[in-house]
Amino acid sequence: MDTDDMGTYDFVGIGFGPSNLSLAAALRDASSSDASPVRGHFFEAQPSFGWHRNMLLPSAKMQVSFLKDLVTFRNPHSRFSFVSYLHEMNRLPQFANNNDFFPTRREFHQYLEWVAGHFADSVTYGARVTGIEPICGGATAGPHDRFRITIASGKDALATTRVEAYNVVLATGLTPRMPEGSVRDDRVWHSSEFLERFGSCSSASLRRVAVVGAGQSAAEIARFCYDHAPNATISAILPSYGYSIADNTPFANRVFDPGAVDDYYFSDPLGKDRLWESHRNTNYSVVDDEVIRSLFQRQYDDEVRGVERLQIINLARVANIKRSGDETRVTIHSLARDEHFDLDVDVVVCATGYEAMGADGVLAGLDAFCPRDDRGRHRVERDYRLITTDDLTAGIYLQGGTEHTHGLTSSLLSNLATRSGEIASSLRSSRRVGSAGGDRW
C-alpha cells in the first residue's frame, strides 16, 4: 500500500456533486476580491462527475427553474450561471425562444458538467475518504484544531493519501432506499441504476414490469417503460389512490425561498413539525401535472383499444420481493382489504427514494465531539456547521442531511446557491493556511 501526504488545507470537500460544485463556484467567484484566498481540495468517489445519470430520461424536465442553478440566487453576475453556459454553447437565443423555465434534465446535467470542467485541477476523482481523525497542530496539548483525512484511491483502493485540513465540508449525497427485505440484483433495480439496467436487457422480451413508488421518478419510469418496452404490461404499485400532483404554485413555492430557511431554523420543534407536514406535497411523493396526464392518457387510449398495458395497483405496498425461477415474485399488501397477493414479473423497479447519507458514517470516529438533540440528530449552526464540543475547534460543514434543522430545501437544488455562499463566507472568515498548501479559491 502506497501512502502519500498532500499537506494542509483550509478545507477539504468530501464529495463533488452539485452541492460542493456550487461551493467551488462560490469560492472562485469570491477569490478575485480576497488578498489571501481560501485553499482547499475536493475528493470524489465516482470516477468522473455525474448526477443521477441513470434518470436522464428523454425529455424529462427539471422541476425547478433554470434560475435555481448553482450560482444565480447568490450572484446573478457569476460566470458559472446556466445563462452563461447557454451563451458559451451558442444556445441562448434558442433557449429563450423555447419560452420554458424548465430545461431538460439532460441539458441541466450538461451544464453541471460544464461547470465541473472549470475545477478539474481542484478535485480528485476515484478517491474515497476512509477516515477523519481530529488532531492538535500545536506544540502543546490543546483543542483539536484540524483533521487528518485518509483517502483511498487507485486500483482496489490500495493507494492511500493523507491530508490535513482546518475544515471539512461533507456533501456525500444520498443512498438508495429499497423496500424492506429486498435486495438489488439483475431483476430488482433501484431507480438510481435504471437506464443502465434497462439498456442492458432486451426490452422487447419484457412481458411484465412492476414499478414501485408514488413520486416523480416512479411515474417517469412507468411512462418510459410503457413507451420503450412495447410488449410489456406495466404494473405501477403505489400506496395512495393515485398519483398526487406536486404543488408548484407561487405561494407554495415560497417555502423554497432562501428566507424560508430562517423561518424553519428559528422555529421551535412543534413549529418545525407543522411546517414540514404542511408542505410535504411540494416535493415528497408527488408528481408533475404533465406526467400524470400523460400516463392517464396512455391508460385511456388502451381502454379505447380494449387492452391494458398500464395497470395501477393502488392502495398497496410491497411486502416482499423474491426470485421465483426466471421471474421475480412481488408480494403485495392490499391496504384496502388487508390481504396479500402475488405478482410475477420480469423486472421490478423500486423508485422508492433515498436516504440522506448524513454524517454518521464518515464521522464515525468523531461522535464524542458532536452533541445530539433529544431525537439523536446532530445539532447544526445556522451556517451549516456542526455544533461541536469545546475541545474540537476545527469545522465540519454539512451539505445535506440537515432537514431537521434547515427545512425542506436541505436535499434540493432550490437553495443550493445561497447555502453554498453562506458556507463559503464562513470558510473565508476562518482561513488560516495563507500562501502555502492547496488550490487557491
238: nearest Cα among 206, 210, 209: 210
- According to DSSP, residue 373 is labeled -
pLDDT score for 35: 64
CB 72 within 8 A of CB 152: no
pLDDT score for 39: 94
Residue 258 lies in a domain: no
Q: Do residues 123 and 42 share a domain?
A: yes
pLDDT score for 1: 39
Residue 126 lies in a domain: yes
Residue 236 lies in a domain: yes
CA dihedral 202, 203, 208, 214 (to 10 degrees): 130
- According to DSSP, residue 244 is labeled P
Out of 353, 368, 383, a domain closes at: 353
Amino acid at 56: L
Q: Do residues 160 and 192 share a domain?
A: no
By the 10 Å C-beta count (0-12 exposed, 13-18 middle, 19+ buried), 126 is classed as: middle
**How big is the CA angle at 23 (ends 400 and 393), to the nearest 5 degrees?**
70
CA dihedral 142, 144, 145, 148 (to 10 degrees): 140
Residue 251 lies in a domain: no
Residue 228 lies in a domain: yes
Q: Do residues 50 and 195 share a domain?
A: no
Q: Do residues 113 and 214 share a domain?
A: no
Q: Do residues 206 and 329 share a domain?
A: yes
Is the pLDDT assigned to residue 370 strictly greater than 80? yes
- Residue 319, phi then psi, degrees to nearest 5: -95, -30
pLDDT 10s digits, 91-138: 999 999 999 999 999 999 999 999 999 999 999 999 999 999 999 976
Out of 337, 353, 369, a domain closes at: 353
Residues 227, 378: Cα–Cα separation, whole Å: 44
Residues 285, 423: Cα–Cα separation, whole Å: 30
Is the pLDDT assigned to residue 306 strictly greater than 90? yes
- According to DSSP, residue 378 is labeled B
Q: Do residues 387 and 344 share a domain?
A: no
Q: What is the 3-state secondary structure (H, E, C) of 3-18?
A: EEEEEEEEEEEECCCH
- The pTM assigned to this predicted structure is 0.93
Out of 326, 353, 380, a domain closes at: 353
Q: Do residues 196 and 113 share a domain?
A: no
Is the pLDDT assigned to residue 173 strictly greater than 90? no
C-alpha grid cell, residue 189:
433495480
What's the pLDDT band for 435 if we cut at 50, 70, 90?
Answer: very low
C-alpha grid cell, residue 19:
452541492
Three-class DSSP category at 68: coil
Q: Is 73 left (phi over 0), alpha (psi -120 to 50) or beta?
A: alpha
Residue 184 lies in a domain: yes
> What's the mean pLDDT in 62-91?
98
Domain with 12, as residue range(s), is: 2-173+357-440
Q: Do residues 211 and 134 share a domain?
A: no
Residue that is written with C-alpha cell 483543542 in the block: 143
Q: How many domains does the chain have?
A: 2
CATH number at residue 380: 3.50.50.60
Residue 262 lies in a domain: no
Q: Do residues 116 and 189 share a domain?
A: no
Amino acid at 240: S
pLDDT 10s digits, 219-241: 999 999 999 999 999 999 999 99
Rounded (to 5) percent helix, strand, coil in the chain: 35, 25, 40
Amino acid at 63: Q
Share the mean pLDDT of the chain: 92
CB 379 within 8 A of CB 353: no
pLDDT score for 174: 86
Q: Do residues 154 and 31 share a domain?
A: yes
Residue 260 lies in a domain: no
CB 24: neighbour CB atoms within 10 A? 26
DSSP state string for 251-263:
HHHGGGSHHHHHH
Q: What percent of the chain has pLDDT over 90?
A: 79
pLDDT 10s digits, 130-171: 999 999 976 556 799 999 999 998 777 678 899 999 999 999
Q: Do residues 206 and 300 share a domain?
A: yes
CB 168: neighbour CB atoms within 10 A? 26
Q: Do residues 235 and 129 share a domain?
A: no
